[in-house]
Amino acid sequence: MAETIPLFPKLGNIVVQSGNIVNWNRLKRKPNNTPTEEICECISACLNKHLESADRNQLQYTTELFCENKEFKEKLPDDERDNLKITVKVILYNRENPEVINDAVDKALNELGVSFVETVILAIPDPNEDLTVEDFKPSWQILQKLVDEQKILSLGVSDLDKTKFEQLFTWASVKPIIDQVNLASCCVMPEDLREFAKQHDILLLTHNDPPDVLPLQQLQDTIRKSSTQKDGDFWQPSWISRYSVIVKCRGIIRTKGYVIDLIKDIKRRN
């Protein structure tokens, strides 16, 4: 960290695969970790590991980094597949390029060694609360295609109020069956959303993610901690895939992990 010469000046894309981090000690997670802290820890762990053995000279020219925690990589055994329920939450920052969803889902499928997942939940961070349903449609079309390809069995969204949810529900050909809400509001759900959900068999599930799960400052500081001040500049999340695998009728979380795609805003770099 004392170095001021950037370690990877040409790096434009980092993909982090955390592997299975459900077991507490694997990440030296503090038990009270927030999702943000958890994601940053994944990034740190991967970067640190990679940088340990990387060739410093080569790094100067590296444009893409695939960082994975090989020791935690766990493909799901075929004979267990029937008992498992896999949910992937895709947090899409890069909504101008919704086709990255394909990557987000494929990488999760690959990581787990499966050909389909039961549910994908789409979250588009909306810090200014100014997104409309139109902002969801392009992504939703990508997801619908993946459903047609039988890579996904069911779809859901995160943090849509009744109005937007109903609009999406009405327009979509593959209808969302889940709306995720922040658990802070679980006891005080708006009546209109509850009613709509009841009428249409929509599952209202809870999540614990803040509106912006990987704020720029925190992301960049995380990268800096593993490298240099300049190395952290201009990074932003493109998408985050959080996958979780539950043993269906035993309520045990078998696997939980992240695939995190980070890009450097190249336009601003110079």
Partner 1 sequence: MGLLTEGTALSWEETKKQADHVRKHGIQQFIYQYHKCKDLEKECLYWGDEVEYMLVKLDKANKQCRLVLKAKEVLKKLQKRELECPNDHPSTWRPEYAEYMVEGTPGKPYGGLMAHFNMVEANMKLRREEIQKLLAYDEVPLSLTAFPRIGCENFTSPALKPTPEKGYSHSLFFPDGAINQGHPRFHTLTRNIRERRGKKVAINIPIYKDKNTKVPFKEDLSQYGDDGTSQSAALTDHVYLDAMGFGMGASCLQVTFQACNINEGRQLYDQLAPLCPILLALSAASPIYRGYLTDIDNRWTVIAQSVDDRTDEELGLKELKENKFRIKKSRYDSIDSYLSPQGQCYNDIDLVYDQDLYDDLRKGDVDDLLAKHMSHLFIRDPVSLFSEKINQIDEEEMDHFENIQSTNWQTMRFKPPPPNSPIGWRVEFRPMEVQLSDFENAAYVTFIVLLTRVILTYKLNLIIPISKVDENMKTAFKRDAVLNEKFYFRKDFFTESWPPSGEYCDKKKCDKIEDEYELMTVDEIFNGKGESPGLLGVIKHYITEVECDVDTQCTVLQYLKLISKRASGELQTTSKWMRNFVTSHPDYKQDSRVSESIVYDLLEKCDKISKYELEVPELLIPPKSKSAEAIPEAISAAYKLIDDKKNSIIANGH
Residue 204 β-bridge partners:
179
Site for partner 1 in 36-75 (CB under 8 A): none
Nearer to partner 1, 1 or 187 (CB): 187
Indicate the pairing of strand 13-17 with strand 64-68.
parallel
| Residue 119 C-beta: closest distance to partner 1, Å | 8
In the set 109, 178, 219, 263, which binds partner 1 (CB under 8 A)?
A: 178
| Residue 197 C-beta: closest distance to partner 1, Å | 7
In the set 207, 224, 225, 230, which binds partner 1 (CB under 8 A)?
A: 207
Residue 144 phi, psi (nearest 5) = -60, -40
- Residue among 102, 104, 91, 97 at smallest CA distance from 36: 91
**Residue 199 CB partners (closer than 8 Å, separation 6+):** none
Number of chain residues interacting with partner 1 (CB under 8 A): 45
Give CA–CA dist 192/199, Å, rounded: 11
Residue 120 β-bridge partners:
88, 155
Listed ranges 20-28, 59-67, 122-130, 257-265: which one lies at the site for partner 1 (CB under 8 A): 20-28
| Residue 34 C-beta: closest distance to partner 1, Å | 10
Site for partner 1 in 85-144 (CB under 8 A): 85, 87, 115-116, 118-119
Nearer to partner 1, 81 or 230 (CB): 81
Interface with partner 1, residue 150, by CB under 8 A? yes
Nearer to partner 1, 6 or 35 (CB): 35
| Residue 32 C-beta: closest distance to partner 1, Å | 6
Residue 116 tokens read as 């389909």
Distances (CA, A) of 268 to 10, 192, 233: 13, 44, 10
**Residue 134 CB partners (closer than 8 Å, separation 6+):** none
| Residue 270 C-beta: closest distance to partner 1, Å | 42
In the set 197, 259, 260, 262, which binds partner 1 (CB under 8 A)?
A: 197
The region, left, alpha or beta by phi > 0 then psi within -120 to 50, assigned to residue 187 is alpha
| Residue 45 C-beta: closest distance to partner 1, Å | 16
Give CA–CA dist 159/161, Å, rounded: 6
Residue 206 β-bridge partners:
181
Interface with partner 1, residue 22, by CB under 8 A? yes
Residue 49 phi, psi (nearest 5) = -60, -45
Question: In this structure, which amino acid lies at residue 265?
Answer: D
Site for partner 1 in 215-254 (CB under 8 A): 244, 246-253
Residue ranges that bind partner 1, judged by CB under 8 A = 22-25, 30-32, 83, 85, 87, 115-116, 118-119, 150, 153-154, 177-178, 181, 183, 185-187, 189, 197-198, 201-208, 244, 246-253, 256
